[in-house]
Structures are given as C-alpha cells and as structure tokens.
Structure 1
Amino acid sequence: MSVDVELDESGNPDPTNGTAMVNGIEELKQSLEIRLLSQVGWAVNDVEFGVEWLDFFGENDNADLAADKIAEALEQDDRIANVLSVTVTPDYKTRKANIHTTLQLSDDDLIAENEDPNLSFDASFEI
C-alpha cells in the first residue's frame, strides 16, 4: 500500500514539517487530488500525469469536456479500475468548479479498507 507525506490545503507538507504520513484510501485521495490539480505534461518522468486543462469555463461553459478530461486523468492511476461518473459543477460567483466522482477501485487492500469497491471522491479547483 502506498504511503506519502500528508499535504495541507496549499499542497505543502503538513505543519509538522512533513512527518505526518497518509496511506491507504487517504493517500489515494491525496494522489488523485494532486493529479487533478496538475496540468498534463508537467511531470518529468510521466508525461501523462495530470489533466489536459483547457479553457473549460471561459466563453464556453464546457463542464462535459472537463468531466471527460478528468476521467481520462483519473484512469491513469493503476489503483482505479474505472471512473464510473464525473460531475463538474462550476460556481462563477466563487470562481471554483466542484468535482464529484465515483471510482471503481482495483486494489483489493483499498477495497477492503473502503468496505466497498466504489469510492466517492470530491475535489475543487479555481476557474
């Protein structure tokens, strides 16, 4: 099972100077959030890591295209068997888009920890 340093809301190591760790479902959620908030191609050794962020919420409100690109990105994680649903809801007042996903897990340990093969995952990003 993967283990990583716990990150705060800004994406920095937690206030304990990086000594707090996350694993299991919490590590997966943290990893997926990092993936969602990253532009595809930024990672040096993984050119497919991240989302192909386009101007989804400029002149054209294209939440469906955003959902498709998010699903593509999440399916790159080996621990995800399938992305069952993605809902993107833009809020122009707060300039954020909320993402709700339902994912089918492929890792038996994560399924056991979650007590369900399907995982609900929420995130948001600024638009």
Structure 2
Amino acid sequence: MSTTGGPPPPRQKVVLAERRGARMVRTRVEVQQQTEVGDAMVRGLVRAQLGLALRVALFTVCLLGAVPVLFHLAPGLAAVTVLGIRLPWVLLGVVGYPILLGIAWVYLRLAERNEQDFTDLTDD
C-alpha cells in the first residue's frame, strides 16, 4: 500500500526453492530432524559401513591367518631363511605391516565412497 497516492508497486513472485532445491532441503531436514525417512537413510549408511568393515576384517584375518596354516601344512617352508631370518618372521614381522597399511588404505577409500554416496543421495 502506497501512502503517496501513486500506483501500487508491481507484484513480485517469491520462490522459496527450485524443484531440485526443495528435494535437497527436504532430505537434509529429514536426516537432521531424524524423521522416519532420515532415520532409515542413516541406518542404511551405518549398515553399509558395518558391512564394509566386516568384509575387510574377514579378508584381513583370512590373509594373515593363512600364513601359520601354510607353515603348518608345509613345515619345510618354516626352515627357509631370507637374509639370515626365518621366513615366518619375515612374512609376519616385515611383510605384514605394508599389507595392513594397504588394506587400511583400501578400507578408507571404500568408506569415503560410502559416505559420498550418502551425501549424493541427500543432495539429490
């Protein structure tokens, strides 16, 4: 309403969000407010992370657990020396650490990808 007596200002259309933006805001709000949908999305992320952790742990245990089994099944390998050190000590004491580092690196990348997929899902 104008007090000067002139014509009223033209109407303006107020848009709160574009269609894509409204969905992004809604999913983020659902996650933040812990609605049923948001809770299901977070549970899905936690389930994916847990599944990944269990698979990587199982792989690691099988890989490192296979070394003693190998030496039990082939006792002649236990007598082999590398640079004056017996092969079981070389495998478990020296080679094991870079293997664990590599497994940890792979796990980190896969866990970050799960989180990025979750973020992409909430940003859609």
TM-score by length of 2: 0.29
Q: Which has the higher contact order (CA 8 A, sep 6+)?
A: 2
Q: Whose Rg is larger?
A: 2
When you count strand as a share of all residues, which structure comes out higher? 1
TM-score by length of 1: 0.29
When you count helix as a share of all residues, which structure comes out higher? 2
